[in-house]
A and B are shown apart, each in its own frame.
Chain A
């Protein structure tokens, strides 16, 4: 599973990075986001791309695990 960290990136970079990640690793990705806006955007994108999501919060970040 490919892992990416989008911390500190502004719109629309977190979703763009996620899009590239699932192109390289269609079976699943793990995305770290560090704010609610990016979390919402990445969530919406992965949901509409047909992934099942598990989200957990650690300190100041969210870890979004996406699997087909």
Chain B
């Protein structure tokens, strides 16, 4: 899948499978949402007690294991880590808070637009704005420094943890939470959701699909490769929604969304900026986690922590709108992004070299 056909096909399949997952029970415009699903898993294992968003999502398990299997097959499974781990953890928290203010990761943002939710347009504008800020810092030499080879166990632990999640989901011991109402109770059958994750995980591993990379590479290098995947999801998601009769164009009465344009913009600006610093969107972090990248695992752990904080502290938005606590958290997130960006840009601080 070297050419552009692979990324377009991947985007198309992601768009269509997402609609099928909604048809089979997932919440509206939420065939996939990495932020929402990590949040649901955090709830499922009791890290937060928001009763409506607790479910160990098999899609996430499938994404990780699908990426791992294809990476092993193509000799790309490799234990790597040690690139600014705690900064990545904190950026994971920040990205999750931004996503839960908007109500979706970049992938769901695209799926929301494909379903006719026009509030997503403000999200996309904010997302692009956030990426633009991140790219400015990349131009100034921003880097989280290099990673290193690790021992094999570092690569296998996270996929193993996901097999553990699958066991908890299927065996459903009493200490695992399952929402009885709200988005967490809306779910496609386990086997189908798992298979959907495996397919999308494998394809995303091959094509390197990344929501933030599309706009970033276009701005930095004029390279449209990843952007084609982004656009393909919108086009095929739209077609799928049309075919299943889910298309509902407008701002009002959209599933799991609010109509506060400014905060949709700001929430996704946080996600765009943070994801550029991390080197990829939440989906990409999950795929890299399956490939043995411990830095991405740490980012995902940050997202779990961010999800728990977001619901324990009342930072997450709901259909009713944004919370005051969420707005304060957003201000803190922007401050953290600014500090991390400045402190890690060698053109702005520290040893200034003439030509590096």
Could you tell me which A residues sit within 8 Å of B by CB distance? 7-13, 15-16, 19, 24, 35-37, 40, 44-45, 48
Contacts and interface: CB of A to CB of B under 8 A. Distances in A.
Contacts, number: 49
A20 B259 CA distance: 43
B117 interface: no
A9 to B, nearest CB: 5
B148 interface: yes
B121 interface: no
Interface of B: 2, 74, 76, 78, 80, 83, 138, 143-144, 146-148, 208, 210, 213, 216-217, 220-223, 225, 279-280, 295, 355
Contact of B144 (A7, A10, A40): A10
A15 B225 CA distance: 14
Contacts of A44: 223, 225
Nearest to A7: B146
A11 to B, nearest CB: 4
Contact of A10 (B2, B83, B208, B220): B83
Most buried by A among B76, B148, B223: B223
A11 B279 contact: yes
A16 B138 contact: yes
A15 B220 contact: yes
Nearest to B135: A12
B213 A11 contact: yes
14 contacts: A8-B80, A8-B83, A8-B146, A8-B147, A11-B210, A11-B279, A11-B280, A12-B213, A15-B221, A19-B220, A19-B221, A36-B76, A40-B2, A40-B208
Nearest to A24: B355
Given A24-B355, A45-B221, A12 B138 contact: yes
A16 B345 CA distance: 14
Contacts of A24: 355
B146 A9 contact: yes
